[in-house]
Amino acid sequence: MAVERTLSIIKPDAVAKNVIGKIYSRFESNGLKVVASKMKQLSRADAEGFYAVHRERPFFKDLVDFMISGPVMIQVLEGESAIAKNRELMGATDPKKAEKGTIRADFAESIDANAVHGSDAPETAKVEVSYFFPGMEVYNR
């Protein structure tokens, strides 16, 4: 077990629903600390750069349009196995397939508007944390 840092985003649908606090409370009651945070209206370039790995996917344009449709809340979470723990709390990408009690099952409507983002591996966590919090140290192996 190792203390890790991961990047989390509360997407525009969940910010609009006024459930930032409820989602933060899931992190806090499951051993994850918010160690950096900011609310931001992403530009198209911000969102395209962040999701560059999905550039060739058919849903890329819709994903970017959605991510810039309103402000997002961006945070770095820290804790034991933070990357996997956050993914577990988020639930499956498609909220209809997400396990009961997960953030996506409870707060998301569709695969497009699915409430949260979370890094999926140590390498992506490192890249994603520095994308929004340049200079922040990450030691995930």
Q: What gap in Å lies between CA 1 and CA 67, rounded to an integer?
A: 33
φ and ψ at 21, to 5 degrees?
-65, -40
Catalytic residue selected from 11, 87, 117, 126: 117
Question: Do residues 73 and 7 make contact, with C-beta atoms less than 8 angstroms apart?
Answer: no
Minimal distance, residue 87 CB to Mg ion, in Å: 9
Q: What is the DSSP letter of 94?
A: S
117 noted as active-site residue: yes
Segment contacting ligand ADP by CB under 6 A, of 1-9, 14-22, 28-36, 113-121: 113-121
Contact segment (CB under 5 A) with Mg ion among 39-47, 55-63, 99-107, 113-121 equals 113-121
Listed residue (117, 86, 90) closest to 101, CA to CA: 90
Q: What does the binding site for ligand ADP look like in residue numbers (CB under 6 A)?
A: 54, 59, 63, 93, 111-112, 114, 117, 120
Residues labelled as active-site residues: 117
